[in-house]
């Protein structure tokens, strides 16, 4: 059998395996996109199979929709802060747990009790977002029945007659939500980075130690560059979380599908759902869906391009 | 050290799939809900039965009946009892679904042209009636109104209903939704707390503020409200407007008048009155951010004197209410020179039951609704769900009511014909949401009454531009 024929046979073999998933992908992912695109040019109410064609009217209205625009800004804000804060914290903890310990005669290891920390840090990841929303709802509760308010009142930092209405404060609500996402995510990325760090040969660290590198230098010059691929992947995944945010915002904040107070925690998904299911403006909501699709496509390309580095082999 | 083998390929794969995921995930959930089926117009209903006084819709014996019930504060046991009775009488086989996810479960069925025969469209995830009606998805229920009543075949069903039921369920001139539960709105307080402190029931807004002041002195909040859902404080604001300005002021809002709020002295007086509660510090601390259950439970724990709500409150709070709490209903107190008396209340029908236009067994659905309006089924409901129905004298006198419901019934009697009810929340979801947002800002003292008026008027003006606005008008 010639070389070419053999590789051809293999290609056919692989294609055979791919046809079914590809068909499923086309039916359940691509086709709905196409449908959404179609609906975005109609005044479909979402509750009836009849609708009229309105051309670009929905997109024109979208340009002037201040609520959607502020939601977009909130998403972008989260897109910057969620990955950066989560990854920095996860990297720091992972480094401390794996290589931050006092170097004994035996070489590189984590701080004392690191095996225990790894498990504890992973806990939040086990909880579903819905449970998380309830949990932090109790933390941020706006009277002294809330954990934070009760705690601050005990310390005398908050007047019990005027507790902080965390999720009802325009300038606090987004940061409160951000904290929940970070709290949820750090553990997972810590474990991910730990695994990556453990695959780094010990002799590199030992060499760095012998050359007199401190913890900070070891981290910046050795660990981080060797982990870059993992960091990049994490950034993309966290980007997904930041572009979505629907579950947390819709359950924790005030308003129909969340977004309150007065649109200060609005994200695109909540505006979309409100228009889609509550206002009966589904065609309009589909236009939002298309805009979200375009934005996320652009962002994913930018993220992958911007974080491209020369690969370090080991 | 290392090799450039499969490791890289795998990582590339992860990265690429992550990139694809970034595109797919946020829009996915929405898209899957988006797909709609074609409109199947073929209606293969069961055979027609003979039309008679006992069987006005010509329902054939046997066949199937598909019922979907919102399983919320009232549960769905009452519906199961109804279905059993219906099956026994008509030989049908009922399928029952009790759910809170009305929109998620029913939207695909409406779009696919195979909706149930009876739907109790309610709860936080309901499909808005105005949206369904506009889409031509709801059957005209006028036939039910004109059919003979089960209890007295010489009377039409229409004449056995409490006033306002038909108006409430009418969309664009067509009666499409039977709102079954009769609800009154206003403040609620604990008879026990008031007795202990020697407070009396306030009849004017000044007296109301007086009790709030005394409550503050006693170290508790005057007014609690369900801040996370500004719907409730809007009840107070709108009731004050209707009482001060009379029915004209209310209709001006429902009819999207250009001076519904702006330049309307009743509206300004009402919003300033509510703001006074905030300004004087009579709100229960933290109430602006609480959910309805959190706020109501705090009120049950005597942390506040008053809370606004509808008469479902008692059933909703059954477990949290102390045995000796002695729940009492209070009509919203009046401002000086109000056109309506203190006893006037917002009262109306809610909990919509509809029959979809494309129901497979439409006659069965209509007959089911007619039977709901019998005294027997109405009593079943009152017993199982602790609430009154829109059937006049529809509850057997032998049924014992809880104190809150009892005081609500007394208030209904005292009000007589002085009842009113807003329609804009059913007609204009977007306007309602905008006004709620403004009220939330006002209660948090981030805007002033004048700004509230401006924002409420802007919401009205926006709704007036909606091409569908011309379909709704009340006189």
Minimal Cβ distance to B131: which of A142, A145, A280? A280
Q: Looking at chain B from residue 380 to 399, which residues have their Cβ under 8 Å from any Cβ of chain A? A: none
Q: Is B189 helix (H, G, I), strand (E, B) or coil?
A: strand
With bands split at pLDDT 50, 70 and 90, how would you rate the model's confidence at A2? Answer: low
**What DSSP state is assigned to residue B369?**
H
- Across the interface, of B18, B29, B228, the residue whose CB is closest to A237 is B18
State whether A299 and B22 contact (CB < 8 Å).
yes
| Residue partners of B305: CB distance under 8 A and separation at least 6 | B189, B193, B194, B199, B211, B212, B215, B220, B221, B222, B223
Task: Find, among B360, B260, B376, the residue nearest to B60 by Cα.
Answer: B360
pLDDT for B45 equals 47
Residues A283 and A58: beta-carbon distance below 8 Å: yes
d(CA A78, CA A11): 43
Q: Shortest CA distance to B207 belongs to which of B334, B303, B304, B329?
A: B334
- Of the pLDDT bands very low, low, confident and very high (cuts 50, 70, 90), residue B308 is very high
Q: What is the C-alpha radius of gyration for chain B, rounded to an integer number of angstroms?
A: 25
User: Hey, is the C-beta of A113 within 8 angstroms of any chain B C-beta?
Assistant: no
Quick check: B18 and A286 CB within 8 A?
Answer: no
Q: What is the pTM of this model?
A: 0.80
Q: What is the mean pLDDT of chain B?
A: 87
Residue-wise burial string across B132-167, b where 16 or more C-beta atoms lie within 10 A, e elsewhere: bbbbebbbebebbbebbbbeeeeeebbebbbebbbe
Rounded Cα distance, B291 and A137, in Å: 10
Residues 6+ apart with CB under 8 A from B379: B394, B395, B396, B399
**Mean pLDDT, residues B358-368 taken together:** 94
Mean pLDDT of A69-81: 94
Is A232 in Cβ contact with B440 (below 8 Å)? no
- From residue B246, give the alpha-carbon distance in Å to each of A121, B340, B347, B422: 61, 6, 15, 12
pLDDT tens-digit series, residues B91-115 = 999 999 999 889 889 988 998 889 9
* Residue to substitute from A49, A141, A153, A314, interface B, most B β-carbons within 10 A: A49
Beta strand pairing call for B304-310 and B178-190 = antiparallel
Which tokens sit at A47?
Answer: 């509750």
Q: pLDDT by residue (tens digit) across B370-402? A: 999 999 999 888 878 878 889 887 777 777 778
Nearest to A165 among B26, B35, B289 (CB): B289
pLDDT digits (tens, 9 = 90+) for B203-252: 999 999 999 999 999 999 999 999 999 999 999 999 999 999 999 999 99
ipTM > 0.90 (yes/no): no
Q: Mean pLDDT throughout B13-40?
A: 43
Q: What is the pLDDT of residue A220?
A: 86
Test B289 with A282 for CB contact under 8 angstroms: no
pLDDT of residue A302: 84
Closest CB to A49 among B2, B33, B111:
B111
Q: Do residues A90 and A193 make contact, with C-beta atoms less than 8 angstroms apart?
A: yes
Q: H or E segment at B28?
A: helix B6-34
B227 touches chain A (CB under 8 A): yes
Is A228 at the interface with chain B, CB within 8 A? Answer: no
Picking from A125-139, A154-168, B389-403, which range would have the lowest pLDDT averaged per residue?
B389-403
Task: Mutation target for B interface from A33, A42, A47: give the one with most B CBs within 10 A.
Answer: A47
Contact A45 B2 (CB under 8 A): no
- Mark which residues 182-221 of B lie under 8 Å from A by CB: none
Residues of B in contact with A201 (CB under 8 A): 1
What does each C-alpha distance from B261 to A88, B277, B464 come to in angstroms? Answer: 52, 20, 14
Q: Which pLDDT score is estimated for A107?
A: 53
Q: Which residues of B touch A48 (CB under 8 A)?
A: 110-111, 132, 134-137
Express each pLDDT in A176-222 by its tens digit. Answer: 999 999 999 998 999 899 888 888 888 888 888 888 887 788 888 88
Closest CA to A244 of A127, A134, A129, A138: A129
Mean pLDDT on A46-67: 88
For residue A42, the chain B residues in CB contact (below 8 A) are none
Cβ–Cβ gap A254/B113 under 8 Å? no
Chain B residue nearest residue A50, CA to CA = B135
Instruction: Give the percent of chain B with pLDDT over 90.
Output: 62
- Strand, helix or coil at B220? coil
Torsion of CA A240, A244, A248, A253, to 10 degrees: 140
Q: Is B10 on the interface with A (CB under 8 A)?
A: no
pLDDT reading at B284 higher than 50: yes
Q: Which of B335, B229, B329 is nearest to B274 (CA)?
A: B335
The SS3 of residue B420 is strand
Are the beta carbons of B27 and A263 separated by less than 8 Å? Answer: no
Query: What confidence tier does B158 reach under pLDDT thresholds 50, 70, 90?
Result: very high
Contacts of B132 (CB under 8 A, 6+ apart): A47, A48, B110, B121, B138, B176, B354
What pLDDT, on a 0 to 100 scale, did the predictor assign at position A103? 55
Which band of pLDDT confidence, cut at 50, 70 and 90, is reported for residue B433?
very high
Q: Which of residues 180-199 of A touch B (CB under 8 A)?
A: none
Residue A154 in tokens: 């005990």
Q: How far off is chain B from A219, nearest CA to CA, in Å?
A: 20
**The pLDDT of residue B323 is above 90:** yes
B279, two tokens: 């300004």
**Could you give the 3-state DSSP secondary structure of residue A234?**
helix
Size of interface A-B (CB pairs under 8 A): 201
The residue that leads in pLDDT, B313 or A307, is: B313
Is the predicted pLDDT of residue B34 greater than 70, yes or no?
A: no
Residue B26 has pLDDT above 60, yes or no: no
């Amino acid at each position: 059998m010639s070389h070419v024929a053999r590789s051809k046979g293999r290609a056919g073999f692989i294609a055979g395996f791919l046809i079914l998933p590809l068909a499923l992908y086309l039916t359940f992912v691509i086709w709905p996109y196409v449908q959404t695109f179609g609906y975005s040019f109609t005044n479909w109410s979402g509750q009836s199979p009849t609708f009229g064609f309105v051309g670009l009217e929905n997109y024109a209205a979208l340009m002037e929709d201040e609520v959607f625009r502020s939601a977009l800004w909130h998403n972008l804000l989260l897109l910057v802060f969620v990955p950066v804060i989560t990854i920095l914290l996860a990297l720091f903890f992972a480094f401390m747990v794996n290589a931050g310990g006092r170097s004994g005669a035996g070489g590189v290891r984590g701080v004392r009790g690191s095996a225990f920390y790894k498990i504890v840090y992973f806990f939040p990841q086990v909880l579903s977002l819905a449970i998380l929303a309830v949990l932090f709802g109790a933390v941020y509760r706006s009277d002294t029945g809330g954990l934070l308010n009760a705690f601050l009142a005990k310390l005398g930092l908050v007047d019990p007659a005027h507790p902080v209405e965390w999720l009802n404060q325009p300038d606090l609500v987004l940061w409160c939500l951000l904290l929940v996402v970070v709290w949820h995510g750090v553990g997972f990325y810590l474990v991910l980075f730990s695994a990556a760090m453990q695959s780094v040969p010990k002799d590199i660290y030992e060499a760095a130690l012998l050359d007199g590198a401190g913890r900070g230098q070891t981290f910046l010059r050795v660990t981080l560059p060797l982990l870059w691929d993992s960091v990049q992947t994490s950034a993309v995944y966290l980007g997904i979380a930041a572009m979505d945010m629907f579950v947390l915002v819709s359950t924790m904040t005030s308003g129909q599908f969340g977004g309150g107070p007065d649109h200060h925690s609005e994200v695109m998904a909540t505006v979309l759902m409100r228009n889609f299911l509550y206002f009966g403006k589904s065609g309009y909501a589909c236009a939002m869906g298309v805009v979200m699709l375009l934005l996320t496509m652009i962002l994913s390309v930018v993220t992958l391009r911007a974080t491209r580095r020369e690969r370090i082999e080991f | 050290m290392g090799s450039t083998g499969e490791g890289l390929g795998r990582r590339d794969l992860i990265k690429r799939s992550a990139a694809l995921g970034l595109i797919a995930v946020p829009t996915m959930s929405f898209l899957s809900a988006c797909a709609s089926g074609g409109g199947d117009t073929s209606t293969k209903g069961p055979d027609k039965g003979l039309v008679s006084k006992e069987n006005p819709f010509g329902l054939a014996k046997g066949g199937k009946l598909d019922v979907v019930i919102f399983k919320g504060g009232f549960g769905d046991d009452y519906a199961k009892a109804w279905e059993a009775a219906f099956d026994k009488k008509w030989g049908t086989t009922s399928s029952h679904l009790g759910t809170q996810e009305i929109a998620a479960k029913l939207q695909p069925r409406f779009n696919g042209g195979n909706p149930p025969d009876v739907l109790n469209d309610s709860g936080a995830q309901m499909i808005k009636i105005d949206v369904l009606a506009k889409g031509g998805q709801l059957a005209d229920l006028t036939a039910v109104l004109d059919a003979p009543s089960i209890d007295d075949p010489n009377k039409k069903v229409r004449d056995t209903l409490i006033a306002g039921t038909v108006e409430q369920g009418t969309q664009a001139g067509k009666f499409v939704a039977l709102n079954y539960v009769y609800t009154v709105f206003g403040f609620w307080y604990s008879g026990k707390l008031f007795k202990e402190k020697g407070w009396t029931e306030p009849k004017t807004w000044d007296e109301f503020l007086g009790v709030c002041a005394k409550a503050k002195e006693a170290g508790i909040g005057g007014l609690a409200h369900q801040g996370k859902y500004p719907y409730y404080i809007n009840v107070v604001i709108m009731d004050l407007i209707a009482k001060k300005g009379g029915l004209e002021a209310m209709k001006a809002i429902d009819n999207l008048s250009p001076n519904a709020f702006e330049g309307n002295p009743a509206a300004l007086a009402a919003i300033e009155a509510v703001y006074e509660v905030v300004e004087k510090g009579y709100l229960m601390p933290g109430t602006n951010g609480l959910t309805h259950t959190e706020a109501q439970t705090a009120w049950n724990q005597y942390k506040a004197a008053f809370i606004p709500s509808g008469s479902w409150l008692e059933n909703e709070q059954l477990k949290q209410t102390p045995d000796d709490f002695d729940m009492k209903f209070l009509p919203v107190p009046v401002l000086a020179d109000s056109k309506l008396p203190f006893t006037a209340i917002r009262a109306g029908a809610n909990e919509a039951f509809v029959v979809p236009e494309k129901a497979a067994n439409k006659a069965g659905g209509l007959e089911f609704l007619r039977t709901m309006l019998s005294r027997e089924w109405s009593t079943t409901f009152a017993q199982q769900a602790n609430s009154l129905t829109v059937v006049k004298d529809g509850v057997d006198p032998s049924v014992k009511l809880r104190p809150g419901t009892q005081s609500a019934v007394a208030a209904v009697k005292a009000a007589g014909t002085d009842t009113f009810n807003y329609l804009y929340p059913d007609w204009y979801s977007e306007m309602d949401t905008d006004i709620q947002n403004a009220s939330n800002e006002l209660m948090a003292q981030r805007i002033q009454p004048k700004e509230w008026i401006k924002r409420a008027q802007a919401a009205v003006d926006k709704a007036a531009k909606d091409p569908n606005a011309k379909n709704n008008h009340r006189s």
